[in-house]
Chain A
Amino acid sequence: MNFSETDIETLRHAILQRETTTRAVVESSINAAEKLNDTLNAFLQIDRAGALRRADEIDASGDAKQSLAGVPIAIKDNICVRGLQTSCGSRILGPYHAPYNATAIERLNAAGAIIIGKTNCDEFAMGSSNENSAFGPVRNPWDTERVPGGSSGGSAAAVASGIVPVALGSETGGSVRQPASLCGIVGLKPTYGRVSRYGLVAFGSSLDQIGIFGRNARDVAEVLKVIAGRDEHDSTTADVPVPDYTSEIGGDIKGARIGVPRDLFGEGLDEEVRASVENAIEAYRDLGAEIVEVELPHAKYCIAVYYIIATAEASSNLARYDGVRYGFRAEESNELRSMYRRTRDEGFGAEVKRRIMLGTYVLSSGYYDAYYRKAQQVRTLIREDFLKAFEKCDAIATPTTPTPAFKIGEKTDDPLAMYLNDIYTCTANLASIPGISIPCGLSNDGLPIGFQLMGTYWSESNLLRLAHAFEQAQPFTERPRITAH
């Protein structure tokens, strides 16, 4: 059985019918992870012993009825799994092992999912290419000279190459949807407050949200069903009922209204990407959806606003990495100030330092009103734009990224060009709304192209249903060069 092509439902069916064992599934996944890691560098830690032990437990119990029983899953290395490393792709946390599980991990464990390892990512989730990892870049399975996107590039590459059917990533500004798009898979960023952030290492606390990668919408729905919902450890989770996302998938989508913000299809957008996304929109029209024009007049400020709010919060969130209690400490410091300075100088990479400095600046006395407060005001305007647009439509369609995957090293010297990769995605984080990226074609270079749908608060069900309908109409059957089989 080729597990690298199998969806969760088929996998579970095979285990339940004893056509295979959990151990066989997990072993195949771990073998692939180990085999491909030299090429892809997608994993920072592979937990062969722990994963097989869990697999054997499920096989021995003879009870594989939980919704994710026996499903191998990869976890971004900024989500705490008890006993495994949580490096966040940073030297400063290098030796750190989490003593507790994130809430999402607790829920995955309870549902029988099997964590096979921790995936590489941009340092503290800061980046759009995975080149900011202290442990080397992840390579795109479609073209190993190219980036997989970021910051959750390891998780995206692991799913795209068929190592695991699903993986967790995290988003602060597009870090799931953008790599999903560059790797030709589905990536969902839920509504802020839908999934607990407890145990997700904070970057921009008002924007951060755990996201899900899968090869199809249904698999993503399976995982979301498990991890979503109110958590008493995270005061920003909402007490909103969690629907049965999988059962709400299916049926036709006649009458659904897809909003298209034409203004965003202009400058900087690659022609191939534009054509592919237009094609996807036409596919919805063919499925009976109504296509309506919408406006998001303040969306053009999103990069500026994002890089003020996210960096401000990051400058505070990353203050705890001071060498005092855990992680890396610079040696041979003989007094406190120099220990702080040297630990943070040697422990953080260039992009993290750039953002800490930006964030410190925008919060400092005399600049707060001009930057941070102003950015919060514009954030409100962006949110209002979306709410107004959602009066006219059920989902908004845009490209996920302006271009397909770029070459490793291509944008590392130009932070602004790098930041512009998030131009279509970071608005959803600012507006706290959900978004999903869905593969819709290949470029002439054989690189995947994705489009995204954004919906109003708590509309994940609707986004997954629309994504599924598209998958049925235009199945994305292409596979990358580097795969598990």
Chain B
Amino acid sequence: MKNGWETVIGLEIHAQLSTESKIFCGCSTRFGDEPNANTCPVCLGLPGALPVLNRRAVELGARAALALALNINERSIFARKNYFYPDLPKGYQISQYDQPFSERGELEIMTAERDEGGHPREWLPLKVRITRLHLEEDAGKNVHEGLPEVDRFSYIDLNRAGTPLAEIVTEPDFRSSWQAYDYVNYVRQALQWVGASEADMEKGNLRCEANVSVRRIGDEKFGTKVELKNLNSVRYMQRAIEFEIERQIELIESGGRVAQETRLWDERNSETRVMRSKEEAHDYRYFPEPDLPPLIVSKDFIEEVRASLPELPDARRKRFAEEYGLAYADAVQLTQNRALADYYEEAARAANNSRGAANWIRTELLRELEAAGLTADKSPVRPEELGALLRFIEEGKISGKQGKDVLIEMFASGKSAAAIIEERGLVQVSDTGEIDAIIEEVLNSNPQQLAQYRSGKETIFGFFVGQVMKASKGKANPKVVNERLKEKLNK
């Protein structure tokens, strides 16, 4: 960013909670069904229908709130947010307003600025204040494509209407697009981690909006903020913010003023465009939803949910670094999801080698998983088996290089390491007597080279190693070969 300027960013995330049924009726939340198949009088907004709160949405909301270190209010109020839009069947969205489900979270995340290639420089902690997480219902979808006479008609699919959402709002605590990027990734991961949401931006079950303003360093007042929408991936969001920062600085430096407005990110043209100005902004006329009593959650309920949460990603990362002696970046990689972190811990235990397990998972297993499109819990190589393989290598039964081939076959065939080693006859020869005999043979059949070595050309040592390995058909333990060969040659 340009010198002398500071960026201020606040974020709003909408995450779909992973319930089976909708937040105010019994309809399924399944994705991809026939349009309007999953609807009823309640989510269609038919006259006379009334909402009834889904307990499961409250539980998942509580998991999400606690995962993000928010304080859950024992009493919260649903409110109506009034506006007209065809995908909003009641003409209002049931949301929460001045008494939300949870408030005042303080989260510490790790963040890093990136170089031109997008590679992180130094990872540093950042404190993020989360203003609130509240519960609300999603709207349906307007469909303008793939149906008859779309030039004359718009269509509406209300399958999504009434899907439970958690809206998560931060204070304006981010000072760069990459901080925002790292935060959103953190939230996605945390929500998946506790099972509150699939948090998949491609599927639209996690959506994000950014409030962006700039000010000169030293200014106390915030600049005029612009709301960015249509940020369909974390990367798009980062790029949109970056574009917006440059746009606003240029505007101010050329004597202009930033207008308070909502802008859409246009990925194709890599720019933001005005959607609506402040004058066109809605007055949502929030008021308490009279159809729903206050939402009361007991202290016991909150503590039950807290007790049922798994160790959260950030805590686990820190523990991996301390307990297993891993580099922070490696711990980050191994905790990208709960399944992988669980896998790692089991493999490390089975291998009795935490760093070895980390290296093998990071360099070998993840490549295979990625190629096969699998998550760690679906890996054909179970963590105990990876541990067994690592022990074979550690004990010198096979070489590391052999191990890599074995792992690939384990992955493809699902066989155990022991079975593959056995089948391939891969047992490494470490027996000094056997190796000595091969060395004897190699030295005898290469008298010329032996003479050269003995006359001082020690660089020829590698030649002998190669010959011994070759004669053993690769089975000789290279470490033992080295030791024995040195001894024989220097005799």
Question: Residues on A close to B: CB < 8 A?
Answer: 78-80, 86, 88, 93, 96, 98-100, 102, 197-202, 204-206, 232-236, 312-313, 315-316, 318-320, 322, 324-326, 336, 340, 360, 363-365, 368, 372
Contact = CB atoms under 8 A, between A and B. Distances in A.
Contacts of A313: 287, 290
B291 interface: yes
27 contacts: A79-B48, A80-B48, A88-B47, A98-B48, A99-B41, A102-B48, A206-B290, A233-B50, A234-B50, A235-B51, A235-B53, A235-B293, A236-B291, A312-B287, A315-B285, A316-B91, A316-B92, A319-B84, A320-B90, A324-B89, A324-B156, A325-B44, A325-B45, A363-B285, A363-B287, A364-B283, A364-B285
A205 B290 contact: yes
Interface string B139-180: 000000000000000001000000000000000000000000
A206 B287 CA distance: 12
Interface in B268-313: 283, 285-287, 290-293
A315 B82 CA distance: 9
B239 interface: no
Nearest to B287: A363
Interface in B241-293: 283, 285-287, 290-293
Given A236-B293, A316-B91, A322-B84, A199 B48 contact: yes
Contact of A319 (B50, B92, B290): B92
Contact of B287 (A99, A198, A316, A324): A316
Contacts of B90: 319-320
A84 B416 CA distance: 69
A203 B47 CA distance: 10
B49 to A, nearest CB: 7
B295 to A, nearest CB: 10
A320 to B, nearest CB: 5
B80 interface: yes
Contacts of B89: 320, 324-325
B41 A316 contact: no
B86 interface: yes
Given A316-B287, A320-B45, 18 more contacts: A80-B47, A86-B48, A100-B41, A197-B48, A197-B50, A198-B50, A201-B48, A202-B48, A206-B290, A235-B292, A236-B293, A316-B80, A320-B91, A325-B44, A325-B45, A340-B84, A363-B82, A368-B285
Contacts of A205: 290-291
A316 to B, nearest CB: 5
Interface size class on chain B is 20 to 34
Which 6 residue pairs spanning A and B have beta carbons closest together? A319-B91, A205-B290, A206-B290, A363-B285, A201-B47, A199-B48
A316 B285 contact: yes
B46 interface: yes
Contacts of B292: 235-236
B280 to A, nearest CB: 12
B412 interface: no
A81 B69 CA distance: 48
B52 interface: yes
Residue of A199, A204, A316 with highest tally of chain B CB at under 10 A: A316
Contacts of A364: 283, 285
A96 B41 CA distance: 13
Contacts of A197: 48, 50
Contacts of B293: 235-236
B35 to A, nearest CB: 13
Nearest to A93: B47
Contacts of B92: 316, 319
Contacts of A315: 82, 285
Interface of B: 41, 44-53, 80, 82, 84, 86, 89-92, 156, 283, 285-287, 290-293
Nearest to B156: A324
B222 to A, nearest CB: 21
Contacts of A320: 45, 47, 89-91
B143 to A, nearest CB: 13
Contacts of A204: 290
Contacts of A372: 287
Contacts of A322: 84, 86, 91
Contacts of B286: 363
A343 B89 CA distance: 16
A100 B40 CA distance: 10
Given A100-B41, A316-B82, A319-B90, A235 B48 contact: no
A233 B52 contact: yes
Contact of B52 (A232, A326, A363): A232
Contacts of B156: 324-325
Nearest to B292: A235
A99 B47 CA distance: 10
A39 B86 CA distance: 42
Residue of B41, B89, B287 with highest tally of chain A CB at under 10 A: B287
A202 B80 CA distance: 14
Contact of A200 (B48, B82, B84, B290): B48
Given A316-B82, A319-B84, A368 B45 contact: no
Contacts of A79: 48
A98 B46 CA distance: 8
Contacts of A316: 80, 82, 91-92, 285, 287
A372 B283 CA distance: 15
Nearest to A232: B52
Nearest to B289: A205
Contact of B47 (A96, A235, A360): A96
A379 to B, nearest CB: 12
A447 B147 CA distance: 61
A233 B293 CA distance: 13
A98 B213 CA distance: 50
Nearest to B154: A336
A94 to B, nearest CB: 12
Given A324-B86, A364-B283, A98 B290 contact: no
Given A313-B290, A319-B84, A325-B45, A235 B283 contact: no
A86 B49 CA distance: 13
A208 to B, nearest CB: 9
Nearest to B283: A365
A338 B287 CA distance: 27
Nearest to B24: A235
A322 B90 CA distance: 9
Contacts of B283: 364-365
A322 B88 CA distance: 11
Contacts of B290: 204-206, 236, 313
B49 A336 contact: no
Contacts of A200: 48
Contact of B46 (A78, A318, A326, A340): A326
B464 to A, nearest CB: 85
A354 B479 CA distance: 93
Residue of A198, A202, A320, A336 with highest tally of chain B CB at under 10 A: A320
A240 to B, nearest CB: 14
A327 to B, nearest CB: 8
A115 to B, nearest CB: 16
A341 B84 CA distance: 11
Contacts of A102: 48
Nearest to B41: A100
Contacts of B45: 320, 325
B424 to A, nearest CB: 65
Contacts of B53: 235
Nearest to A324: B86
Contacts of A360: 285
Residue of A88, A313, A319 with highest tally of chain B CB at under 10 A: A319
A70 to B, nearest CB: 27
A233 B46 CA distance: 14
